[in-house]
Structure 1
Amino acid sequence: MIANFSTLTKKEILSLTNIRKYETKLGEVIGCFDGSDTSMEEQLSRTDAKYIIFGVPEDAGVQANGGIGGARTLWPSFLQSFLNVQSNNFLPSEQLFLAGAFDFAEEIKLVNATAPNGEERVMALRALVEKIDSRVEDLVKTICRNKKIPVIIGGGHNNAYGAIKGAAKGLYSAGVIPLAQVSAINLDAHADYRTREGRHSGNPFRYADDDGYLSKYFIVGLHENYMQENIRRDLQDNPFVDYITYEDIFLREKFNFIQAVARATGFVEDHYTGIELDMDSIENVVSSAMSPSGISPLHARVFVNFIPTEVSVAYLHICEGAVALDDGTASKLTGKLVSYLVTDFVKSHYLAYKNGFVQ
């Protein structure tokens, strides 16, 4: 068992499922751990499901980066929507397995009690993020070692580091890749490539790159107004990193959106690739860094639909969304949008995988 992780039982899943006569909801058929003494790894190795879904409902990384807390609220809302999706011929429900979620509430409580404000709080939160990194890495590594695809619902973007590191180690352990490295394509208003100043949601890709687990990195939709010049220079000087800005797509029209995403898939080539989607890239979606200018929900759906047909997927990570922020901003629709994104990804990838187009 992985520390801080709680599995979901079938009874708990059904309690969140609105069962109706003549219908079959996803919650009625989705796979889960059976509650026996059999290890998580053994149960994962036995399941026929390809996609292992779990939550990281925390915002320590967001707060450690000076952002507004609230990302911890997405997971319950996502579950409520996701489990009530219709199980039908469009969705390969038998390929879905709901593992559970991490819980860092006690650790946050301790930080609040011992370091309530100031620089001391920032340092305490960054230390906690390192612990979260380790937990996420362990679970992702276990899933990838069994040749399954993790679907990670955040949480802050800090969890990209644990996802990249865990996927690289897991796929290498399984003999799938020759080096413990994976690439990443990130739909994001920000590069999340800040300096190594302690772990937080603004520097997961810097740490993954510096530590040797990130092969190539492409950002789609960067906002020029929020790209620090030192980071722009770092990205420009790194031949294994590339990006296309939001302005180049939607204002200057150098590319249309699908061309930009295709350029990203061409850049990572045949490397196993993590798909990263920061909800703050979507216009007016409640997130830690909400924006009045961004992509549409349709663009986000196109992103998760297109990439799985072009690359070998290491994992899917959807992060930074919230139902309620600590400043009072709220929307019940965020979880439903994430549910669309997950099902879009699964439908697209499984069809390409089944037909032998991708791994």
Structure 2
Amino acid sequence: MNWLNLYTQEYISSWVSHRAGEQKIGDKFFYPNIQRPLKEQFTVFKKQGGQFVLFGINEDLGPQGNLGRGGSGNGYEATIKQFVNFQSNQFLPGSDIFILGEIQTQDIQPDSGNTELIRQAVAKLDVRVIELTSLIIAAGLEPIVIGGGHNNAYGLLTACHQVLNTPMSAVNLDPHSDFRALDGRHSGNGFNYAASERALTQYHVLGLHELKNNAINLQQLKQFGGTWHTFQQIWVRRELTLEKAMQDIAQNINAYQQPLGVELDVDAIPQFPSSAETSAGIPLLDAAFYISYLARHCHCQYLHLAEAAPNCHPTSEQAGYRQVGQSLSELVYSYIQGRKSYTYTHT
């Protein structure tokens, strides 16, 4: 995996700010060893009580292939720079977290902006995402994946499907369904591709914007059997509460008794640096509640936080790094804490 940039402890040591009498979780993480095979490291980590593997995907090929703007490559680095400075305490010791690194894509970046070539590159990226995710899932660990476009949902769902030998469910907090036509790989059709291959058989979109999904897209999703709650239903017209929506979603998902992929596109959060920033969106705290609720009540297999683009912050890249890092760190913590309070019983 020469395309995997490992975040060793030496690599990130300068990011951890120490104070006398304090311990940061960055000092407690399990870090990769460049001299040992990853499969072996995951086995050791699991035996030591490990549960979560954080990795990033440094790419914006998917959004470009969807005729959108780029910039979604640095979300993982921005997050880890903030995350390592949380306090190690009774709420989050940090020793059950493996900070892995990020998938790089410079070697498959097309020389031109030709859409077809970009979509071919996304298909090559799919192979990398599937390979790495499969190793993690096979070791009995849970990936927490940050960065890149929402195209990477396809690779995550496919890897889980292949390793676990079962179809997947997914819930996606997103103004877009990402169920566009199968016209070549990009950030707008990852779930449709997974569905077409039976890797995904149950799909719900929370916060779907009523005016940001074309009629054909919605019809395809309906024919598949996908469901949704719209942004306007919950946050504008207040026809039901978010908590009631989450209760219904969890009940329906659990009825299928399938592993769940928890998906979140930061495009859903207002004024968030992303490939498709919105003014009217879902508060960050509601996004954290969404993740926490599913993590506590469903058989989750992974968390995927997509489309963060620190470079797209209107003020500066530095401000973008700070906002993305702080926000996604909170979302990661919401997932980890939720999973620690969940006990899965298959009936």
**How high is the TM-score relative to the length of structure 1?**
0.90
Task: Determine helix, strand or coil for the equivalent of 1:230.
Answer: helix
Match runs of 1:31-70 below 5 Å: 31-36=30-35, 38-47=36-45, 48-70=49-71
Match runs of 1:310-325 below 5 Å: 310-325=297-312
CA deviation profile, 1:127-181 (whole Å, cap 9, x unmatched): 1100111100111111111110000001100000000001112223xxxxxx3x1
Farther-moved stretch of structure 1 (149-158 vs 323-332): 323-332
Q: 2 CA distance for matches of 1:87 and 1:26?
A: 5
Q: Does 1:223 align with 2:209?
A: yes
Q: Does 1:185 align with 2:171?
A: yes
Partner of 1:85: 86
Q: Does 1:346 align with 2:332?
A: no
Q: 2 CA distance for matches of 1:314 and 1:141?
A: 12
Unaligned ranges ≥5, structure 1: 173-178
The 3 A distance-change label for structure 1 pair 135 and 147 is same
CA deviation profile, 1:180-225 (whole Å, cap 9, x unmatched): x111000000000000110000000000000110020000000011
The match for 2:235 among 250, 258, 262 is 250
The match for 1:277 among 264, 269, 280 is 264
Q: 1 CA distance for matches of 2:198 and 2:315?
A: 39
Task: Determine helix, strand or coil for the equivalent of 1:129.
Answer: helix
Task: Determine helix, strand or coil for the equivalent of 1:226.
Answer: coil
Task: Determine helix, strand or coil for the equivalent of 1:100.
Answer: strand
Match runs of 1:158-307 below 5 Å: 158-172=151-165, 179=166, 181-239=167-225, 241-269=226-254, 270-307=257-294
Q: 2 CA distance for matches of 1:13 and 1:73?
A: 15
Farther-moved stretch of structure 1 (135-144 vs 4-13): 4-13
Answer whether contact 1:9 1:32 (CA < 8 A) is retained: yes
- The amino acid across from 2:215 in the alignment is E
Unaligned ranges ≥5, structure 2: none
Answer whether contact 2:26 2:94 (CA < 8 A) is retained: no
- The amino acid across from 2:281 in the alignment is G
Task: Give the superposed CA RMSD.
Answer: 1.8
- The amino acid across from 1:300 in the alignment is A
CA deviation profile, 1:22-78 (whole Å, cap 9, x unmatched): 111111110112232x31011101113100000001101011111111111212211
Q: Does 1:150 align with 2:143?
A: yes
1:321 is displaced (CA, Å) by 1.0
The 3 A distance-change label for structure 1 pair 336 and 358 is farther
Task: Determine helix, strand or coil for the equivalent of 1:72.
Answer: coil
Q: 2 CA distance for matches of 1:327 and 1:333?
A: 12
CA deviation profile, 1:248-284 (whole Å, cap 9, x unmatched): 1122222211222222222222210000010000111
Q: 1 CA distance for matches of 2:75 and 2:278?
A: 18
Count, aligned residues: 339
